[in-house]
Structure 1
Amino acid sequence: MISSLIKTLFYRRTDAMFTDQETAEFELMLRNTDSEGSVRYESKFPKYRFIDYVVQNKNMVVHGSNRTDIDQFEVRRQTLFNGQPVEAVFASKDGIWSIFYAILDRSKVVYNFRNGCIKTASDMRYYFFSLTEPTYASDPWTTGSVYFLPADAFERTTRSKAYFDEWVCRQRIHPVMKLSINKEDFVYLNKVAVHKPNESIALTWLLYKFRTRSKR
């Protein structure tokens, strides 16, 4: 029931297995990471594929940020998807969602923004991204970085069958490496909707696909 509702409201991502060529190129880039942990990206494959490859094969989680100079993540008071406050470092296990946070210029956000990566028990992934009209009109995209962090330090925020892909670490932590990101790396750029600042989250979800269906 829940999975059917999520499938109706949001965009589902379907990926093929990693090819031998992807694996070879990604492993080579990992070996050639520089002394500061920066990945020199040299591949025709989209960056979210590389991020997911590292997450799935190297026991990592990821954090997207506009900042490109973070050498230690500090615990901060933040809010989980369900509104529960928590003091933690946030991360996810999803390449596309982390890229969104890397390129959205938070200084240009007016009122609020709404987004999510929802996973199901069958390991399907669903997305929604929505900004207010003043935010969208300001061209709120910038460059940033996706940081890779050791997954063993993080725990998932919920054990439900359908869940937001949020992971938290309750202590300061150093990134293992980072990848430069720009808006061309965000493959859901044409799936960003516009919502009214004061509308309910339920209405934003209900209208999400309708608001983005005419975008190219």
Structure 2
Amino acid sequence: MLRLISSIIFRLLFYRFPQLAYSQEEIEEYEKMYSKALTSKSEIKYSSNFPKLHFIQYIASTKKVVLHGSNHKGINEFEPRRQTLFNGKYEEAVFATRDGIWPIFYAVFDRNKLVGNFRNACISSDLKYNYYFFSLTRETILSNPWTSGMLYFLPEETFEKVNHSLVPFDEWISKSPVAPLTKIEVEPEDFYFINKVSYHNPKESVIVSWFLYKLRTKFFIKR
């Protein structure tokens, strides 16, 4: 019952991505592309007519990988470093997620244009959907803070999911260094929720940002 109630609350507050149905042609193309990159130990050069996000979601949901997005395109190994979990606890670790959409935000958001702070989340409340929240300060949004970036596919073996109890964020951490299996370049247009990025006052509570999120995305002119 608690899980159902939380799912209803998240649905009211946040956006979710529709479930994808893959054709056999898509699956064969994605498998071939991914296998080729692993065999050659090279970057995935995406040339399919199917949306790149569909490929990323397919790999994220069918392979033993976690994903990490970054503005930096030439990372050969990820080293654990001191970062903050959503609950405010510090961890010295490599951060990643099993979700295919959330890390694209980190890949295409130009951190050099950040004014104040930013807030975001990927919440796994049931088996069918993840729920998403993305918010920047007004000044950051108006600077058009989008760029190309890189999405890295990391082996999941050393990662463990962080427990957030009532708010189950899709955060995974590794205390050991991790080398990517492969990577793929992404552009702002690959970020599904780029027009659902809200704004917030950097001094307001996160709860306020959550409750005003959808309202703000409907009425704030970002471009």
Find the counterpart in structure 1 of residue 51 from structure 2. 46
Superposition TM-score, scaled by structure 2 size: 0.91
Runs of 4+ aligned residues of structure 1 deviating over 3 Å after TM superposition are: 159-162
Question: Which residue, 165, 185, 193 being the options, matches 2:190?
Answer: 185
Matched letter for residue 116 of structure 2: Y
Q: Does the CA contact (< 8 Å) of 2:110 and 2:145 recur in 1?
A: yes
Q: Does the CA contact (< 8 Å) of 1:32 and 1:40 recur in 2?
A: no
Question: Which residue, 3, 14, 17 being the options, matches 1:13?
Answer: 17
Give matches, 1:110-149, under 5 Å.
Answer: 110-149=115-154
Q: Does the CA contact (< 8 Å) of 2:41 and 2:181 recur in 1?
A: no
Mind listing any 5+ residue stretches in structure 2 that lack a counterpart?
none
Matched letter for residue 26 of structure 1: Y
2:26 and 2:193 map into 1 onto residues whose CA distance is 21
Superposition TM-score, scaled by structure 1 size: 0.94
Q: Does the CA contact (< 8 Å) of 1:146 and 1:179 recur in 2?
A: yes
List per-residue Cα deviations over 1:23-52 (Å, max 9, x = no partner).
Answer: 011112113328452001012222222122
Aligned length: 216
1:73 and 1:3 map into 2 onto residues whose CA distance is 34
2:182 and 2:208 map into 1 onto residues whose CA distance is 38
Q: Please, which moves more after superposition, 22-31 or 90-99?
A: 22-31
How big is the shift at 1:161? 6.3
1:159 and 1:173 map into 2 onto residues whose CA distance is 23
Matched letter for residue 12 of structure 1: R
2:193 and 2:209 map into 1 onto residues whose CA distance is 17
Question: Which residue, 145, 166, 170 being the options, matches 2:171?
Answer: 166
Find the counterpart in structure 2 of residue 210 from structure 1. 215
Q: Report the RMSD for the aligned CA atoms in angstroms.
A: 1.7
List per-residue Cα deviations over 1:94-143 (Å, max 9, x = no partner).
Answer: 11111111000111111100111111133421101110011111111111
Equivalent residue of 1:50, what SS?
helix
Matched letter for residue 46 of structure 1: P
Matched letter for residue 83 of structure 2: Q
2:149 and 2:133 map into 1 onto residues whose CA distance is 20
Q: Does the CA contact (< 8 Å) of 1:29 and 1:42 recur in 2?
A: no
1:186 and 1:101 map into 2 onto residues whose CA distance is 10
2:101 and 2:50 map into 1 onto residues whose CA distance is 14
1:96 and 1:16 map into 2 onto residues whose CA distance is 13
2:19 and 2:49 map into 1 onto residues whose CA distance is 16
Equivalent residue of 1:45, what SS?
coil
List per-residue Cα deviations over 1:73-104 (Å, max 9, x = no partner).
Answer: 01000011111110100000111111111000
Is the counterpart of residue 30 in structure 1 residue 56 in structure 2? no
2:63 and 2:136 map into 1 onto residues whose CA distance is 33
Q: Does the CA contact (< 8 Å) of 1:3 and 1:162 recur in 2?
A: no
1:171 and 1:152 map into 2 onto residues whose CA distance is 10
Find the counterpart in structure 2 of residue 92 from structure 1. 97
Matched letter for residue 111 of structure 2: R
2:189 and 2:199 map into 1 onto residues whose CA distance is 20
1:193 and 1:43 map into 2 onto residues whose CA distance is 31
Find the counterpart in structure 2 of residue 175 from structure 1. 180
